[in-house]
Amino acid sequence: MPSLEGLPGDERDWVRRFPHLEQALAHPLDRRRTLKLLALALAGGGLAGCDPGTPDRGFVSAVRAAPGVIPGVPNIYASAHVRDGYAHGILVTHQMGRPTKVEGNPGHPASLGATDIFAQAAIQDFYDPDRASGPLHDGMPAAWQEVTTALQAVRAPVGSVPQAASGLRILTGTVTSPTLGAAIDALLAAHPGAVWHQWDAIGRDAARQGAALAYGRPAMVIPDLRQVDVALAVDSDLLDSAPGHLRHARAFAGRRNPVQGPMNRLYAVEPTPSLTGVAADHRFVAAPAVCDEIVGRLGAAILHNAAPSGGPDWLGAVVADLRAHPGRALIHLGPDHGADAHASVHAMNEALGGRGGAFDVFEPPDYRPAQPTSTLSALMDDMENGRVRALLILDVNPVYQVPRFAAALPRVPLSVALADRPHETAQAARWHVPLAHGFEDWGDARADDGTATILQPQAMPLYGGMSAVTVLRACAGDAARSAREQVRQTWRERLASEADWRAALAAGVVPGTAAPRLDAAIATVLPPVSPAGSAALTLLLRPDPHLWDGREANNPWLQELPRPLSKTVWGNPLLIPPELARSQGLRNGDEVALSVGAHRVALPVWVQLGQASGCVVGLLGSGRRHAGATGDGVGTDLYPLRDAAGPVRIVATGRTVAVACTEHHATLVADAPSDIVRHGTLARFRQDAGFLGKMQDHPVPAAALYRRDPGAPVAWGMSIDLNACIGCNACMTACQAENNVPVVGRDEVLRQREMHWLRIDRIYEGTQSAPDTFFQPMLCMHCEQAPCETVCPVGATTHDSEGLNVMVYNRCVGTKFCSNNCPYKVRRFNYFAFAEQERRPPISRNPDVSVRARGVMEKCTFCVQRIAQARIAADRDGVAEQVVTACQAACPTQAITFGDINDPDAAVSHRKASPLTYVVLPEQGTHPRVTYEGRIRNRNPAIEL
């Protein structure tokens, strides 16, 4: 805030900023007048707490409930969660008019009913107490009228600057929203010379350019993993975060359980483990430069129908396998590789004959694909040269992410940042206009396949704010037009009738908006894949899997969500390969100075098994300066290194930093297959389908002493398919949101007191450099012979007739003996009043779930509140209970099946009858109601392990 410098002591400056103050100071103050003013301030304070009401939204007396709101009965409205422009359809659950939970929209192609962690955590973003509460001008509070005036000033030419070079620039992320695009277009049309720049901090520009290069025009290449038998993922994020990743994960997992149907086969080659790599049947470790080289060799082999020359010894077998499945083979390349490599991969996929099946080419969903002339660097060039008069920054944070932008911004006379919080960019810009949350105003967005969703507001704005569309309209001098009218206008043609409009709102999908197929042919001549220069040490800067580009830094659920592989939370240690750790004598938590050329930061290291030697990985998105009270200063900001050039070096500083991690011991690598995660190969499964069940060393002891009473007609049980689980953590976040699971903070995680009811165990087998990695969701097993129940002296944890192991919080005195006696350690204890200490407002909680007090034990309940709701619905409608637990609902791969195991036709009964089914720790004789389906991998026998 350079404009604030010199403020203290400069009284005239204060007066200039607060004209009312000048008037007040003009009158001499006496005691009487002071008291009057104080009384007025007190009364005003009370009044300000009231909802002002707006002209179009009158007060509604709460004596009569709003239509459709029944106390205790949730309402559900469709909307979408938009990340980097692409929409995932969601259904927002409201309790008495307040959003409390997000579910996936089964009718939406990018959701199919599932959600990712970001959509689940959107509730925390919405209720974030650090969101902007009002507009700021040069860091000082301003009135909304002043904002309107300022936005209109964007239009006015300044002095001698001619209209034609109006110098107006708009900076946004990727825009797929037709309404927002139209509003931008309208502004551009009114201002010849104005330029729209699209930029994402974590961009997929190389992938876009690669597709454009391959097909001669902007194109979206979308795989369809349902029709893929063999896939090769090269440093890919297909199941992690690529557009449509939830759909890809669903399709992939649908072909992973050999009991359910034929398996596909996935090869992965990558420098650092990803969810995609861990899910693969064969995972190969290669530095990024080697990945590019492999793409080159693959191209040479596949495009010219030759055997691959050179390269790793497995390459020949992989190429042969891909070739052996014409039309059903696919190669996918991650976004961190060059456009030429992407183009080459597209050509290979065409050569493998998968078009129309394994993948297809569509019109991109972007409103207007980004042009090479309107990149961020072009904008920064103009800013530095003073050619930008007015800059609208709509919901992006370049000041944090691009140091060069931060330096250039003060040269723009009028900069307006539309931001949800006073973040780095909002503070550096002259104006900060609060952005309405996606739950607060109308909008629309498209999924990766082009399907459009209309975002309807879910609640009255909590803090006040404008949507991007409204801001653009205000710039055009048309502030009166609401976002709703504009969205309606956009879809007037397609949804002509009110009934159609309402149906589209209810469905969360505008029918028939999927992008058309392109018949663009693959280019015949493609640039060769340029080999990346190899260095002694390569630094890969990747988006944080949970904080993404840093936007979620103030989201406590995501900060405390253990990263899938490293299990670290609240901070971003530098991930180093085990070889480097050994050669440099580094251990987890040792601080190093990481330098790229002249830029240098200090941060702790974390040994990441299965990472390419000579390759260190930094996670972007931490070290925020102005994210909010939760996220400020957590971790280290690595963005300054991204644009730096020069050799990468790490030097130990000799200091040690405590790194919070939910795995509270040294990383273990089992040298023999464990009984806990059972796995085997497809070949073995074909010989003997039940081989996993026979892995048991000791027979399950029969519980002869006590009667195992089947009890009620319903018996709840769960089956978790380890073949499907990709470790994405969506279930953990969903559980946290559904069950009011508190966040404990970094210090308490360091004291091993995290509270997650559902955790995902990550288990390594094999070698440190290339371990076999397994994920295993672990939650209360609801044992039929529950060891926790017998040791509780007050009977606070007991069994109900339907097999639930229920926890009576009010009865718990906190002996913690139940946790001692739980072999699975799924019970969590409230050492402090964790829920009370959370910063989230109480209205954001699920009212159906008790908030636990200090000193009581808690654990997974199988979402007993959902069971109760389902029972009410079943009693009312006379049908069988349909219970979907929160974790099950969120799971993109449908790894979790829940239901009545007494019903032989229930899906869960079928799953439990699978020959892959096994019990964890059977020798404990606990008879868990949660069983697992062991993981089968479709290894290629031609590849030596």
Partner 1 sequence: MSGPAAVAPVVAPGETAQSLTERICAVTLREGARPWTPLWWWAALAVSLGLLGMGVIAVGWLFYAGLGIWGIDWPVVWGLDILNYVWWIAIASGGTFISALFFLLGVEWRTALNRLAESLTLCAALCAAIFPILHLGRPWFFYWLFPYPNTMGLWAQFRSPLVWDFFAILTYVLASILFWYFGLLPDLATLRDRAQGQGRRVFYGVLALGFRGSGRQWRHYRAVYAVMAALMAPLVVSVHSIVGMDFAGSAATGWHSTQFPPFFVFGAALSGFAVVLLAILPLRSLLGLHAYVTERHIDVLGRLFLTSSLCVGYAYVMDAFATFYGPDEADRTMFLMRVFGLYAPVYWGTIVLNIVFPQLLWWRSVRLTQPLVWLIGLGVLVGMWLERFQIIVTSLARTQLPSTWGQYTPTLWEWSLLFGTIGLFLTAFLLIVRLMPVVAMAEMRAMLRGPA
Q: Measured from the CB of residue 735, what is the shortest distance to partner 1 in angstroms?
A: 16
Residue 708 is a binding residue for partner 1 (CB under 8 A): no
For partner 1, the closer CB: 584 or 821 = 821
Which of the stretches 411-419, 525-533, 641-649, 758-766 binds partner 1 when contact is defined by CB under 8 A?
758-766
Residue 127 is a binding residue for partner 1 (CB under 8 A): no
Which of the stretches 214-222, 300-308, 447-455, 830-838 binds partner 1 when contact is defined by CB under 8 A?
830-838
- In whole angstroms, what is the distance from residue 412 CA to residue 381 CA? 12
Those residues whose C-beta lies under 8 Å from the C-beta of residue 904, and which sit 6 or more positions away, are none
Restricting to residues 198-257, which ones interact with partner 1 according to CB under 8 A?
none
Residue 579 is a binding residue for partner 1 (CB under 8 A): no
Q: Can you give the length of the chain in residues?
A: 945
Which of the stretches 536-544, 551-559, 822-830, 876-884 binds partner 1 when contact is defined by CB under 8 A?
822-830
Restricting to residues 772-791, which ones interact with partner 1 according to CB under 8 A?
776, 778, 787, 790-791
Residue 676 is a binding residue for partner 1 (CB under 8 A): yes
Q: Measured from the CB of residue 717, what is the shortest distance to partner 1 in angstroms?
A: 21
Residue among 658, 642, 553, 671 at smallest CA distance from 606: 658
Which of the stretches 359-367, 530-538, 866-874, 920-928 binds partner 1 when contact is defined by CB under 8 A?
920-928
Residue 828 is a binding residue for partner 1 (CB under 8 A): yes
Among 815, 869, 902, 940, binds partner 1 (CB under 8 A): 815
Q: Which two tokens stand for residue 423?
A: 């973040």
Q: Measured from the CB of residue 796, what is the shortest distance to partner 1 in angstroms?
A: 8
Residue located via tokens 């390269």: 311
User: DSSP letters along 546-592, please?
Assistant: TTBTTTTTT-HHHHTSPPTTT-B-SS-PEEE-HHHHHHHT--TTEEE
Q: Measured from the CB of residue 573, what is the shortest distance to partner 1 in angstroms?
A: 19
Coil/strand/helix, residue 775: strand
CB 91 within 8 Å of CB 82: no
Q: Measured from the CB of residue 214, what is the shortest distance to partner 1 in angstroms?
A: 44
CB 265 within 8 Å of CB 940: yes
CB 430 within 8 Å of CB 406: no
Residue 937 is a binding residue for partner 1 (CB under 8 A): no
CB 617 within 8 Å of CB 650: no
CB 130 within 8 Å of CB 385: no
Q: Which two tokens stand for residue 923?
A: 């020798």
Those residues whose C-beta lies under 8 Å from the C-beta of residue 927, and which sit 6 or more positions away, are 703, 708, 783, 784, 785, 919
Among 664, 703, 709, 767, binds partner 1 (CB under 8 A): 664
Q: Measured from the CB of residue 752, what is the shortest distance to partner 1 in angstroms?
A: 4
Residue 489 is a binding residue for partner 1 (CB under 8 A): no
Residue 303 is a binding residue for partner 1 (CB under 8 A): no
Q: Measured from the CB of residue 764, what is the shortest distance to partner 1 in angstroms?
A: 10
Alpha carbons within 13 angstroms on the beta-carbon side of residue 399 total: 26
Among 829, 862, 898, 932, binds partner 1 (CB under 8 A): 829
Residue 752 is a binding residue for partner 1 (CB under 8 A): yes
Q: Measured from the CB of residue 732, what is the shortest distance to partner 1 in angstroms?
A: 14
Helix 483-490 to helix 178-190 angle (10° resolution) is: 100
Residue 609 is a binding residue for partner 1 (CB under 8 A): no
Task: Please state, in angstroms and as integers, the Cα–Cα distance from residue 660 to each residue in 64, 576, 745, 838, 893, following that order.
Answer: 49, 17, 9, 18, 29
Alpha carbons within 13 angstroms on the beta-carbon side of residue 85 total: 28
Residue 589 is a binding residue for partner 1 (CB under 8 A): no
Q: Measured from the CB of residue 890, what is the shortest distance to partner 1 in angstroms?
A: 21
Among 493, 498, 697, 905, binds partner 1 (CB under 8 A): 697
Neighbours of 518 (CB within 10 A): 18
Those residues whose C-beta lies under 8 Å from the C-beta of residue 149, and which sit 6 or more positions away, are none
Which of the stretches 60-68, 282-290, 440-448, 919-927 binds partner 1 when contact is defined by CB under 8 A?
919-927
Residue 921 is a binding residue for partner 1 (CB under 8 A): yes
Among 814, 871, 907, 910, binds partner 1 (CB under 8 A): 814
Q: Measured from the CB of residue 681, what is the shortest distance to partner 1 in angstroms?
A: 24
Q: Measured from the CB of residue 696, what is the shortest distance to partner 1 in angstroms?
A: 12
CB 684 within 8 Å of CB 867: no
Q: Measured from the CB of residue 545, what is the shortest distance to partner 1 in angstroms?
A: 19
Q: Measured from the CB of residue 785, what is the shortest distance to partner 1 in angstroms?
A: 10
Those residues whose C-beta lies under 8 Å from the C-beta of residue 12, and which sit 6 or more positions away, are none
Residue 679 is a binding residue for partner 1 (CB under 8 A): no
For partner 1, the closer CB: 137 or 762 = 762
- In whole angstroms, what is the distance from residue 831 CA to residue 750 CA? 14
- In whole angstroms, what is the distance from residue 795 CA to residue 101 CA? 32
Residue located via tokens 């930094």: 618
Q: Measured from the CB of residue 680, what is the shortest distance to partner 1 in angstroms?
A: 20
The 3-state secondary structure of 447-503 reads CCCCCEEEECCCCCCCCCCECHHHHHHHHCCCCCCCHHHHHHHHCCCCCCCHHHHHH
Which of the stretches 245-253, 288-296, 493-501, 850-858 binds partner 1 when contact is defined by CB under 8 A?
850-858
Q: What angle do CA 613, 617, 618 make, to 5 degrees?
A: 160
Among 158, 165, 496, 668, binds partner 1 (CB under 8 A): 668
Which of the stretches 249-257, 487-495, 725-733, 826-834 binds partner 1 when contact is defined by CB under 8 A?
826-834
Among 585, 654, 793, 878, binds partner 1 (CB under 8 A): 793
Among 120, 198, 538, 924, binds partner 1 (CB under 8 A): 924
For partner 1, the closer CB: 384 or 761 = 761
Site map for partner 1, 143-182, x if CB under 8 A?
A: ----------------------------------------
Those residues whose C-beta lies under 8 Å from the C-beta of residue 724, and which sit 6 or more positions away, are 253, 256, 257, 891, 893, 894, 895
- In whole angstroms, what is the distance from residue 618 CA to residue 207 CA? 21
Which of the stretches 103-111, 116-124, 520-528, 815-823 binds partner 1 when contact is defined by CB under 8 A?
815-823
Which of the stretches 100-108, 159-167, 663-671, 734-742 binds partner 1 when contact is defined by CB under 8 A?
663-671
Residue located via tokens 């079928």: 910
Among 14, 463, 691, 832, binds partner 1 (CB under 8 A): 832
Among 406, 855, 869, 915, binds partner 1 (CB under 8 A): 855
Q: What angle do CA 579, 764, 234 make, to 5 degrees?
A: 70
CB 301 within 8 Å of CB 319: yes
Residue 751 is a binding residue for partner 1 (CB under 8 A): yes
Task: Please state, in angstroms and as integers, the Cα–Cα distance from residue 445 to each residue in 204, 366, 436, following that order.
Answer: 18, 9, 15
The 3-state secondary structure of 817-878 reads HHHHHCCCCCCEECCCCHHHHCCCCHHHCCCCCCCCCCCCEECCCCCHHHHHHHHHHHHHHC
Which of the stretches 287-295, 373-381, 410-418, 828-836 binds partner 1 when contact is defined by CB under 8 A?
828-836
Among 161, 831, 839, 940, binds partner 1 (CB under 8 A): 831
For partner 1, the closer CB: 11 or 747 = 747
Residue 821 is a binding residue for partner 1 (CB under 8 A): yes
Sites of contact with partner 1 (CB under 8 A): 663-665, 668, 670, 675-676, 697-698, 748, 751-754, 759, 761-763, 776, 778, 787, 790-795, 811-817, 819-821, 823-825, 828-833, 853-857, 920-921, 923-924
